[in-house]
Structure 1
Amino acid sequence: MQRAQNKLGLILFPAFDWRITPTHPEREERLLYTIDQIEEEGFFDYENVFVFNPEIIDEKYINLTHFCVPNFDSIATISHKIAASSTITIAKKVMSKEVEKGFALIRPPGHHAHRITYGDRGFCIINNEAIMVEYLKREYRIKKIAIIDTDCHHGDGTQDIFWNDKDVLFISLHQDGRTLYPGSGFTNEIGGPAALGYTLNLPLPPYTSDEGFLYCLENLILPILEEFKPDIIINSAGQDNHYSDPLTNMNFSAQGYAKLTERLNPHISVLEGGYSVESALPYVNLGIIFALAGIDYSNIKEPDYDFEKLRQSPKISEYIKRLCENVYTIWKNKEQTAHEFKKKYQKYYTRKKSIYYDTMGFLEQQLENIKICNKCSGLITIESRCLNYRVFAITIPHDACDECCDEGYKLFATSDPVNFSHIILQDKKNFEFYKKENLK
């Protein structure tokens, strides 16, 4: 019997009972073809390969990650809960050293789900990786976490949730938002006042190939990870950068994904997007799995792969080189940037956001206030208007000082329910969640 070099744990959850429409690209076939390919390659016969079933998690981890409006059960399904549960199950297996690496091949995806969520946007309702991070912080006291998002679409939801948390380094490689949904993820999006420089975006030009992605990895991401020294690395392993994907315009291949995975060496990978159901996903997932397991993946190639046809132009290569230099400068100058920022904004930092729910066709308006605190990362409050709801959301961060803690509870107690349909408090420090509703 063949043996994998690394102990690898897999969770395979196709979510048979959830789809947007029967022919929508985000449907169960995304994983069924992959499972067939894995079986055909005899991967389940390898020693050191383990398949786990997800355990259903305490919904509190969802509520400490998201403000679900009006509530979780009204906007999501059991499949969404199982997908999030899968990430926590695989995290448990890795943290207990039952396996060395974990890959949650799950759907529905989640990286477009923001801190406040009213429903489906970008095929996402709740954020699977963010919920897993909440679990890791709470249960294992993990201090420093890196999330590398390689989905073709900018991970705007993950960015939003960890915007002001410098203990979570978020790096997103994606097709330039000027050419693709959700229209965000530019280099000037670098984090909130307590975490400036800990959000980093690489908006790549259309038709970037393996060469460009691997250049970003070698010349930017790996050096930054070496300096950040995370306790755990998570890969949001979206696969819609593939050259055959129907929704995007990139030229990444199964070999490229496998090489990126081997070099990045994440502890946990989580499937996000990828909608070339037959032409890409079986090969890309297999490449990622083999790379995580430490098995030779050199023979994994798509039947129609043509290196010369997919080669990126010298113009793209030069653009990516300059992009990496620019983003690395942002990383190196983050302390100076933070110093200048605090001189400009002494008490609160406010930002207005318009968030479009493309799948459902409505718009949310947000006003977010982040307290600039010298003792902790600062209390966050958000006023949100969407549909017939008006929400006042309060987040007490994990590292909250006593003053910010007290202020958060005082705001919750004194906010007038007449003015809001929902007043919600997340106390991440003490793992508590409270809600007041006025649905008249």
Structure 2
Amino acid sequence: MLKADKSLGIVFFPAFDWAISPTHPERQERLLYTQDQLREEGLFDIEGVTEHKPDVAAVEDVERVHFCFPEVSAVTTRSHLISAGGAMKAADLVMQGECDRAFAMVRPPGHHAMKVVHGARGFCNINIEAVMIEHIREQYGHKRVAIVDTDCHHGDGTQDVYWHDPDTLFISLHQDGRTLYPGSGFPQELGGPRAMGRTLNIPLPPNTSDEGFLMTMERVVMPILEDFKPDLIINSAGQDNHFTDPITDMNFSAQGYAALSEMLKPDIAVLEGGYSIQGALPYINLGLCLAMAGVDYSHVREPNYNAERIRQDARTTAYIEELCKQLPSLYFNPPAYNPKGDVSQGILSGNKLVRQRQVYYDTDGINEVQQETLFLCDHCRGLLKIETRADSGPLCLGVEIPINACRDCKSHGYQIVEDAQLKGNSRYIQLINRLDREYVRIGF
């Protein structure tokens, strides 16, 4: 009988009652074929590999992370809360010592959900990794966390949530945004003024195969993780880099995914995208589970695999080699913060950094305009204020007092909320007070 080197807990939730449409690639079959494959291969017969039921995230769990307007119930379903709860369950398994590692094999996904939520974008409503991470910090103490996002699409939502957080390292390996949704994730996107270099984007060219991904992991990701020394490594485990995925242009294989996971050694993996429902996902998920459990995965092979047919060409290899030479310096020696007035940097005025932003929710067809203001502080991470409006809807206000807030920033945050109430120009107001664990929502 096989025994896992590392005990692995698998949390499974296929969301039977939620899909964008019956034929949309983000539907329940994404996980049903995987479930059959894992059982057929005898994964749960391996000593140390166990299956667990998800929890259900509470409204407060979501409001710890997001400004949801007009409220959480308006932008989520029960399935979204269970998906986030599945990620939280995976975290609890690891944090409480029940399992060495955990894989939240859940849907709907979440890494395109930004700090502000008016609806769905990129198939995502709430950021389930962020909900999980902030659950960990609330329940088990503040942790340094590294998120390595291996979805083919840039994890723009996770980047946005942690843009100003120096204790969260976000690394995204993805198909170059010049060739794929959401059109972002470029090397110059490095984080806010208190977190420069804590965001690192690795845009890979179309047709990158196992060689390119593993080269990038070895030469860029792993040295940075070794330096950052996170308490936890989270794999935002999107699987749409596979060579059979219908909506992307990469050439990664199930073996490649497993080798990446073996190298990364994530404490927790959370499923993201991946839409080759029969030809890829069952095999990738099997390989990931075996690799996380420290069990041999060399026999895992998807149908139609042909190493020569998907091998990247010499020009692609040369391009990735050059990326690997240049990108580490953006973490180890990030440039000085120099606001230029563009969308990623903002405009600095006194102690305020202001970013004007437009966000399009492609899934729901919503246009959002927002003004983000970070009040810079020498004593803490700084107070965050976001004024936002979706289409022709009412003005909404979000204020976040950070987890390590000083007395002045806390007082300023409450003053902003009080002033907004008196003026009555914001229809919905949400206060996130991480310092005192107070989450307040006001509607007029």
- TM-score, normalised to structure 1's length? 0.97
- Which residue does the alignment assign to 1:268? 268
Deviation at 1:399, TM superposition (A): 1.3
Give yes or no for the alignment of 1:375 onto 2:374: no
Separation of aligned partners in 2, 1:407 and 1:51: 46
Give yes or no for the alignment of 1:294 onto 2:300: no
Contact 2:84–2:131 (Cα < 8 Å) also in 1:
yes
Separation of aligned partners in 1, 2:19 and 2:58: 24
Residues 20-419 of structure 1: pairs in structure 2 closer than 5 A? 20-334=20-334, 337-338=336-337, 346-387=350-391, 388-416=393-421, 418-419=424-425
Separation of aligned partners in 1, 2:219 and 2:376: 33
Pairwise CA RMSD of aligned residues? 1.6
- One-letter amino acid of the counterpart of residue 435, structure 1: R
Separation of aligned partners in 1, 2:309 and 2:29: 28
**Where do 5+ consecutive residues of structure 1 fail to align?**
none
Separation of aligned partners in 1, 2:159 and 2:107: 20
Q: 1:340 to 1:277 in 2, by over 3 A?
A: closer
Which 10-residue stretch deviates more, 343-352 or 318-327?
A: 343-352
Contact 1:377–1:400 (Cα < 8 Å) also in 2:
yes
Deviation at 1:385, TM superposition (A): 1.1
- Which residue does the alignment assign to 1:15? 15
- Which residue does the alignment assign to 2:434? 428
Contact 1:399–1:429 (Cα < 8 Å) also in 2:
yes
Separation of aligned partners in 1, 2:226 and 2:361: 37
Q: In the comparison of the two structures, how many residue pairs are matched?
A: 437
- One-letter amino acid of the counterpart of residue 426, structure 2: F
Separation of aligned partners in 2, 1:149 and 1:318: 23
Deviation at 1:223, TM superposition (A): 0.1
- One-letter amino acid of the counterpart of residue 336, structure 2: T
The C-alpha deviation readout for 1:93-119, integer Å capped at 9, x for no partner, is 101111001000000000000111011
**Where do 5+ consecutive residues of structure 2 fail to align?**
none
Secondary structure of the structure 1 residue equivalent to 2:278: coil
Secondary structure of the structure 2 residue equivalent to 1:389: coil
The C-alpha deviation readout for 1:278-323, integer Å capped at 9, x for no partner, is 0100010000000001110001011211111111111111111222
Secondary structure of the structure 1 residue equivalent to 2:395: strand
Secondary structure of the structure 2 residue equivalent to 1:406: helix
- One-letter amino acid of the counterpart of residue 399, structure 1: N
- One-letter amino acid of the counterpart of residue 443, structure 2: E
Deviation at 1:344, TM superposition (A): 6.9
Q: Identity across aligned pairs (percent)?
A: 50
The C-alpha deviation readout for 1:399-419, integer Å capped at 9, x for no partner, is 111111110011011114531
Separation of aligned partners in 1, 2:6 and 2:142: 22
Q: 1:380 to 1:240 in 2, by over 3 A?
A: same
Separation of aligned partners in 1, 2:74 and 2:182: 24
Separation of aligned partners in 2, 1:420 and 1:292: 47
The C-alpha deviation readout for 1:113-165, integer Å capped at 9, x for no partner, is 01110111100000000001111111111320000000000001100000000
Contact 1:142–1:231 (Cα < 8 Å) also in 2:
no
Separation of aligned partners in 1, 2:129 and 2:377: 27
- One-letter amino acid of the counterpart of residue 355, structure 2: R
Contact 2:216–2:320 (Cα < 8 Å) also in 1:
yes
Separation of aligned partners in 2, 1:332 and 1:338: 14
Separation of aligned partners in 2, 1:202 and 1:422: 37
- TM-score, normalised to structure 2's length? 0.96
- One-letter amino acid of the counterpart of residue 108, structure 1: P
